[in-house]
Amino acid sequence: MMNATNVANDGLPQFVSFGEALTDMIRLSADRWASIPGGAPWNVAQVMACFGVPSAFGGAISQDCFGEDLWQTSVKARLDLRFMQRLDKSPLLAIVHETQPPKYFFVGDDSADLHFDVAALPAGWESAVRWAHFGGISLARQPLAERLVALAERLKTLGVKISYDPNFRVAMDHSYDPILARMAAIADLIKVSEEDLRGLFRTDDEEGAFARLRAMNPAAAFLYTRGAEGGALYVGDKTWRATPPKITVVDTVGAGDCSLAGLLCSLMYHPELGWDAHLRASIAAGAGACLAAGATPPSEETLARLALEVEVKSC
């Protein structure tokens, strides 16, 4: 997919994803629960690392069993661990008490994620990073949100490319509107889904909501994902739509994060390609994530095969 070699501790990462790493507590039955490492920004970071990009997750986790699972999974993904802070604070948990349809709430009063310290990051990292990603529930949790938005704004002035995935959750009410506006204004790439648009703009008019979002930053590229229907890229007055390959879906966990990572990898390592090729890489990565249980990135061979089956048309 790219000509990159992941370096875990030598040098500094080219990609950093900032936000939350949490534990999904999923109710399997009346008396059985499963704990799964998660959090959209953390997941994007580990997918990027698995795709071969020198990557890091910038955030804070607890020192208990939940934090240990996140740490060990990050080790296996070969993330740069210098950006991941372990604190003597409680974990951030997403309690998924129903799965069909998903119903959940978050537990994390004064939890570790809120105490992430930007000043403690490795010296010189801002000069090395090419893309920085922001999003998730972290941008709806103060005081962390203000700290992260300020960081994104500073990186933008330094010439770092910014990607943003709101990843709507119920905590993103009217108070989130200023964060949405500030992040959209500086983002080079914005990923959004139909569910995001309905939630962020509190409307059933998805196309109207998408027009409002694009108006916040007409210069940005927009990845609009539509699940099994595929997705589209909007860049200026150009649009490319993609039909995904026909696959047997195991589950869709992490598909959106993989789709975004596929697009970012293509943009970072194959900038000479057209937007149609970038979208093809994105949709192939999202489809590949659906072939295995959990947020499992597809192999390079699987990505190459699926990319050949993605149909892209310009509009």
**pLDDT(255) > 90:** no
What span, in angstroms and rounded, lies between the C-alpha atoms of 118 and 282? 30
* Contact indicator for 112, 60 with CB cutoff of 8 Å: yes
In this predicted structure, what is the pLDDT of residue 90?
A: 96
**pLDDT(4) > 50:** no
Backbone angles phi, psi at 106, to 5 degrees: -110, 145
Look up the CATH number of domain 14-116: 3.40.1190.30
Q: Minimum mean pLDDT among 61-65, 130-134, 256-260, 303-307: which range?
A: 303-307
In this predicted structure, what is the pLDDT of residue 193?
A: 92
- DSSP 8-state class, residue 80: -
Residue range 56-91, pLDDT digits in tens: 999 999 999 999 999 999 999 999 999 999 999 999
**pLDDT(119) > 50:** yes
In this predicted structure, what is the pLDDT of residue 191?
A: 96
**pLDDT(278) > 50:** yes
Mean model confidence pLDDT for the chain: 89
| Token digits of residue 120 | 């403690």
Domain extent listing, the chain: 14-116
In this predicted structure, what is the pLDDT of residue 252?
A: 65
**pLDDT(299) > 90:** no
Residue range 160-189, pLDDT digits in tens: 999 999 999 888 999 999 999 999 999 999
- DSSP 8-state class, residue 204: S
**pLDDT(39) > 70:** yes
In this predicted structure, what is the pLDDT of residue 294?
A: 63
Determine what percent of the chain is predicted with pLDDT higher than 90.
64
